[in-house]
Structure 1
Amino acid sequence: MTHNAEWKVGVSLTEEGGTTRARAVLDTGTGQLVGRGSARCNPGDAEVASIGDELAASRAMRDLAGQLSRAADRDLAAMGVAPDPPRTAYGWPQDAQSRPDMGH
C-alpha cells in the first residue's frame, strides 16, 4: 500500500523586551497541532536576535514533536498496540531491574 501525504509546519516568532516567543503550527490537512517555545536574553549578554529566534523556534518544534509522539502513542494504544515503555535517559539498563543484592 502506497500512501503519500504532505504536512506543513509554519513557525512564527515575536520578540519583546528581551524575550523571543515562537509558535510552531503543524497542519496535517485534517487537523492542527501547536507547539510553543521561548528564549530570554541574559541582561548581561549582547542581544543577537537570530540566536533567540533559533532557541525559541527549536523549543517550539520540540514541543510540537512531543505532542505528535504522544498522539501516535494514544493512537497505537487505541488499536491495542502498546507503545514501547519509556526508557531512562541515565543510569545503566540493569538498574531498572530487581537487584537481589539490594533486597529487591
Structure 2
Amino acid sequence: MHHETEWKVRVDLTEDGSITKADATLDTGAACFRGHGTAHRSPGDKDVPAIGDEYAAGRALRDLGEQLLGTAERDVAAMGAAPEPRTSPMYGWEL
C-alpha cells in the first residue's frame, strides 16, 4: 500500500518585553493540533529576539509532537496493539 500526504505546520511568534510566545498549528485534515511554547529572557541577557523565537518555537513544536505521539499511541491501543515504550530510541511504528 502506498500512502502519500503533506502536512504543513504554522508557527506564530509574538514578543512582549522579555517574553516570547509561540503557537504551532497543524491541521491534518482529520484533526487539528495546537502546541504552545514560551521563552523568558533574563534581565541581564542581551536582547536577541531570534534566540527567544528559537526557544519558544522549539517548545511549541515539542508540545505539538507530544500531542501527535499521544494520539498515535491511543490509535494503536484502539487497534488492540501496544506501542513501544517511550524509553526506546525510536518508539512508534517501525520504519
Q: TM-score, normalised by structure 2?
A: 0.88
Give the % identical residues.
Answer: 55
- 1:30-79: CA deviations, max 9, x gaps? 22100000000010011100000000000000000000001000000000
Task: Extract structure 1 runs of 4+ deviating beyond 4 A.
Answer: none
Bigger Rg over Cα: 1
Runs of 5+ unmatched residues, structure 2 = 89-95
Counterparts in 2 of 1:1-104, with a 5 A limit?
Answer: 1-87=1-87
Paired residue total: 88
Check 1:86–1:4 CA distance in 2 against 1; reply closer, same or farther (3 A cut): closer
Q: TM-score, normalised by structure 1?
A: 0.81
In 2, distance between residues paired with 1:86 and 1:46? 37
In 1, distance between residues paired with 2:87 and 2:8? 30
Q: RMSD of the alignment, in Å? A: 1.2
